Structure 1
Amino acid sequence: MDSSWLETRWARPFHLAFVFCLALGLLQAIKLYLRRQRLLRDLRAFPGPSTHWFYGHQKLIQDGKLEKLEELVEKYPRAFPFWVGPFQAFFYIYDPDYAKTFLSRTDPKSKYLCKFLVPCLGEGLLNLNGPKWFQHRRLITPVFNFNILRSYIKVMAHSVNIMLGKWEKICGTQDTLVEVFGHIRLMTLDTLMKCIFSQETNCQINRQDLRLFMGHDLLCNLFTVIVFAVTLVMGNYYSIPDQIIQDRKNSLKDEKKQCNTQKKYQDFLDIVLSAQGENGDSFSDTELRSEVNTFMVAGQDTMGGSISWLLYHLAQNPEHQERCREEIRSILGDGSSITWDQLGEMSYTTMCIKESLRLIPTALSISRELSKPITFPDGHSLPAGITVVLSIWGLHHNPAIWENPKVFDPLRFSQENANQRHSHSFLPFSAGPRNCIGQHFAMIKLKVTIALILLRFRLTPDPTRPLSLLPQVILKPKNGVHLYLKKLS
């Protein structure tokens, strides 16, 4: 057989495959080029920092330095396009009018964040969209009824007092340096386990009960933990909630037992499972577990961080710390009990909480993909398909809204000053139809915690260890939160 004929026979398919692949590559290149041109056209009305043709703006804030973002906010006071490469751009906004228009809609959450959250949390309120989100929101809303929240105050106070007992043993009568963030996260975990499951974990004292906490901690580092490691951890992380959920569902099937059960308060599971029966609607076991995980992960890190930042700010500003302490003493006395009505009287303390949430919000941003075009109040528009990022950090540090935005000034939130400000200039819990469902729970927890801490301890900063933030999905301290604690007599 002629060897040239064989070579020709076998070479032809390779040539055809090569031409086919080349054509596909060329089509993809044309598609990307057209995508870039379309984005350039859509975003040309909005000025922004110069961009590298390949890296985009990634090198501009590659270290996650929030100071650089603040510089951009000052230079471009409403919004700017942020390129993450040659073919993908996000649109950052931090203007109250832009925020109000954006948050009044029900655009789906950005798929870029959801692809990291779903494997870890499942599909819950944080990442669901459309009718499924409305169903979940409706079933979970009764959990945050004010009568239910009222019953949680004693639960919260009990967890805080366990932590304060630990601090008293650590400090004695001396000024003692304590890394408070770790203690506070355990305390918030303890609170959440009681409010969700009615479970006494003893996790603040007994290290054997930390396996839930450790599993959750790995799950929260979404961008540093590889998928395989997450998968290994998830088995342990889910085991405790799954068993509790099944036990509770089994007990609720027995109506007689349900009627005879006397509980001091209804927890998350009680309320959600009861709401399911009343509405004729229900979660699957997977959906219920996803919502439990969302509540625990989002609740622990947001509340743990917010309490820590508040303590840090009050330590840095002793005059405001002392004024809060005086107010709390006048309301609570020795703090042997704390009630719903008393929390409502803490006006100055509430202003300090809000100012701390302004300076360091619970979440850096909210991102959504436009399902239809949007037109902002100034007449500028964006088409469907653009990912819009509301930078809450940028909004809260925008000098066009806040005078001296880096200064801790609780009087910004006096009734008079608040009434003069735009309704969407302060959004620690977002706004609109997808606002944070747990915001009242969080505020109650903050008030209970700070009140009991200030009654028993004076806080002073460690000048050698300034607070350094690590921007992730939720802000965390890079090296902990170190404060000097002095027990008050």
Structure 2
Amino acid sequence: MESSWLEAHWTRPFYLAFAFGLALGLLQAIKLYLRRQRLLRDLRAFPAPPTHWFHGHQKFLQEDKMEKLEEVVEKYPYAFPCWIGPFNAFFFIYDPDYAKTFLSRTDPKSQYVYKFLIPGIGKGLLSLEGPKWFQHRRLLTPAFHFNILKTYIKVMAQSVNMMLDKWEKICSTKDTTIDVFEHINLMALDTIMKCAFSQETNCQINSTHNPFIKATFEMGKIIFYRVYSFLHHNDIMFKLSSKGRRFQELIQVLHQYTEKVIQDRKKSFKDGMKQGNLQEKKYQDFLDIVLSAQAENGDSFSDDELESEVKTFMIAGHDTTSTGITWLLYCLALNPEHQEKCRDEIRGILGDGSSITWDQLGEMSYTTMCIKESLRMIPPIPSISRELNKPLTFPDGRSLPAGMTIVLSIWGLHHNPAVWKNPKVFDPLRFSPENSDQRHPHAFLPFSAGPRNCIGQQFAMLELKVAIALILLRFKVTPDPTRPPVFSNHIVLKPKNGVHLHLKKLPEC
């Protein structure tokens, strides 16, 4: 009798705990079921590609094959729901009218993407919302005034010529094939460090595998993987995984790199204030503007905000431009007739390229059309996302509720056959004045549009022009058919194993 009483006494809490856990699990299952039913109801007006009951479209998204997306765009010409597991869905759009409606609003950035990005780069201009974003944007916009951009041209040319001198040594007296992406990455980092932070890194000379570049490349890949792997949306599960542990290591690499840049400049900034020689510089760079704000009003930028903006501009300022230059060079290698037309135009304007001015870059009309066409064919930022803070109705009358995550697929938009005739063909004349005037203003969005368009788009276009002009004056580029590039799914669309091009040194004019 006593044994039976003890047994009942000790097992009762376990039975209660089991029953409680079972009830919680059942409640959670009911919530997930209702969530799925709500999503199915909200999205029923929009057909979607076949989906796996558990993985959704996860496999399709992680295959690194943009051709798959093109097939979907052709079959579903406006938009489609994309399932991430059984209980989450993104809504992909790639129609100009849909894009115009979407970008004319001020919905916040999607938490699914940016909550995974923030641990790596912090809350900078890219991820801020509301009044804080407006304050930062207003404060940083003067750093991209055209009078300041003009002063960057000489710096950009020096960095590009340093890279080309390396290429000449590699080529020596014979033609050769190299991975241009590796070199362009270092050149772009060298450029942004000089222009935005007035810092000489010598990264092109002292390092071919800069730890900052390697860290940003790997971090971008992990973030993209996490966005489309619903099992890793949970912070605890992600941190316990091998990718989560590696992510923490990469965060430390970025922190140490940016912290050194900030401390070096803070020291020189303070020294300059003491000596009263802050006006000796020809221009205020990005870091000057932020540090001046801190000095005048400590509440404008905290130290954490300062580090976040430095990380954001370091990564965005070199990652997107290096990728854009690489894909531009690849497009011209595949299309030698357009490469030659650009070269003829550049020679007619720059001569031997010993000096480049703002006005000369503005005269490169055909080269600019080729740059835009490469940005259409291979946009460095393949998509952007927002989370609706109120219902949205598209021009065709179909609607989505608040809370839905919308992904504007810039790749899908730029390859939509309903928008672009023969979208796989490289045709710079799409961007002639007469053709551009007839096109929908939201058909071409490499730098997004609306109030949150890219603050650095003029800087990027300037660097693209300087780089391609100097490269084509000194080298002829052709593709290596044995090693075609493969896209690697990142937030920035990078080549998975580099871009190998055949370089031929041209005789001096």
Q: Secondary structure of 1:200's partner? A: coil
Which range is displaced more, 403-412 or 113-122?
Answer: 113-122
The separation in 2 between residues aligned to 1:37 and 1:209, in whole angstroms, is: 49
Q: Among all aligned residue pairs of Structure 1 and Structure 2, give the percentage whose two residues are the same amino acid.
A: 71
Alpha-carbon contact 2:183-2:208 (below 8 Å) kept: no
1:326-345 aligned at under 5 Å gives the runs 326-345=344-363
| Partner of residue 241, structure 1 | 258
Q: Return the offset for 1:126.
A: 1.6
| Partner of residue 8, structure 1 | 8
The separation in 1 between residues aligned to 2:207 and 2:290, in whole angstroms, is: 31
Distance 1:255 1:60, change over 3 A: closer
| Partner of residue 388, structure 1 | 406
| Partner of residue 313, structure 1 | 331
Distance 1:208 1:363, change over 3 A: closer
Alpha-carbon contact 1:139-1:276 (below 8 Å) kept: no
Q: Return the offset for 1:271.
A: 2.4
| Partner of residue 432, structure 1 | 450
Which range is displaced more, 218-227 or 318-327?
Answer: 218-227
| Partner of residue 291, structure 1 | 309
Q: Return the offset for 1:57.
A: 2.1
1:476 aligns with 2:497: no
Alpha-carbon contact 1:163-1:187 (below 8 Å) kept: yes
Which range is displaced more, 99-108 or 129-138?
Answer: 129-138
Which range is displaced more, 472-481 or 215-224?
Answer: 215-224
The separation in 2 between residues aligned to 1:211 and 1:405, in whole angstroms, is: 37
Q: Return the offset for 1:33.
A: 1.2
The separation in 2 between residues aligned to 1:220 and 1:61, in whole angstroms, is: 15
Q: Return the offset for 1:190.
A: 0.5
The separation in 1 between residues aligned to 2:382 and 2:208, in whole angstroms, is: 33
Q: Secondary structure of 1:245's partner? A: helix
| Partner of residue 42, structure 2 | 42
Q: Secondary structure of 2:51's partner? A: coil
Distance 1:275 1:415, change over 3 A: farther
TM-score (norm 2): 0.92
The separation in 2 between residues aligned to 1:319 and 1:275, in whole angstroms, is: 50
Which range is displaced more, 234-243 or 299-308?
Answer: 234-243
Q: Return the offset for 1:116.
A: 2.2
Distance 1:15 1:241, change over 3 A: closer
Which range is displaced more, 122-131 or 382-391?
Answer: 122-131
| Partner of residue 410, structure 1 | 428
* Aligned AA (1:352): C
1:74 aligns with 2:67: no
Alpha-carbon contact 2:215-2:254 (below 8 Å) kept: yes
Distance 1:177 1:317, change over 3 A: same
* Aligned AA (1:248): R
1:194 aligns with 2:211: no
Alpha-carbon contact 1:467-1:477 (below 8 Å) kept: yes
Q: Return the offset for 1:275.
A: 4.8
Deviations 1:101-125 (A, max 9, x none): 1111111111111132112111111
The separation in 2 between residues aligned to 1:176 and 1:249, in whole angstroms, is: 44
| Partner of residue 92, structure 2 | 92
* Aligned AA (1:465): R
| Partner of residue 226, structure 1 | 243
Which range is displaced more, 474-483 or 275-284?
Answer: 275-284
* Aligned AA (1:102): F
Q: Return the offset for 1:127.
A: 1.6
* Aligned AA (1:317): N
* Aligned AA (1:155): V
The separation in 2 between residues aligned to 1:208 and 1:419, in whole angstroms, is: 44
Alpha-carbon contact 1:468-1:478 (below 8 Å) kept: yes
Alpha-carbon contact 2:220-2:490 (below 8 Å) kept: no
Q: Secondary structure of 2:258's partner? A: helix
| Partner of residue 237, structure 2 | none
Distance 1:446 1:76, change over 3 A: same
Distance 1:82 1:199, change over 3 A: same
1:57-456 aligned at under 5 Å gives the runs 57-207=57-207, 210-223=210-223, 226-253=243-270, 255=273, 257-259=275-277, 262-275=280-293, 282-456=300-474
Q: Return the offset for 1:261.
A: 5.4
Distance 1:139 1:358, change over 3 A: same
Deviations 1:8-42 (A, max 9, x none): 11222222222211211111111111111111111
* Aligned AA (2:64): G
* Aligned AA (1:375): T
Alpha-carbon contact 1:369-1:387 (below 8 Å) kept: yes
* Aligned AA (1:120): G
Q: Return the offset for 1:201.
A: 1.1
Q: Return the offset for 1:367.
A: 1.1
What count of residue pairs does the alignment treat as equivalent? Answer: 489
Q: Return the offset for 1:240.
A: 4.2
Alpha-carbon contact 1:335-1:455 (below 8 Å) kept: yes
Alpha-carbon contact 2:254-2:311 (below 8 Å) kept: no
Q: Secondary structure of 1:226's partner? A: helix
Deviations 1:416-464 (A, max 9, x none): 0011010000000100111111111000000000000111111111122
The separation in 2 between residues aligned to 1:256 and 1:10, in whole angstroms, is: 74
Q: Return the offset for 1:347.
A: 0.5
Which range is displaced more, 62-71 or 420-429?
Answer: 62-71
The separation in 2 between residues aligned to 1:214 and 1:342, in whole angstroms, is: 35
TM-score (norm 1): 0.95
Q: Return the offset for 1:280.
A: 8.2
Distance 1:170 1:418, change over 3 A: same
The separation in 2 between residues aligned to 1:246 and 1:202, in whole angstroms, is: 18
RMSD over aligned Cα atoms: 2.0
Q: Secondary structure of 2:202's partner? A: coil
The separation in 1 between residues aligned to 2:219 and 2:308, in whole angstroms, is: 13
Alpha-carbon contact 1:117-1:222 (below 8 Å) kept: no
Alpha-carbon contact 2:73-2:79 (below 8 Å) kept: yes
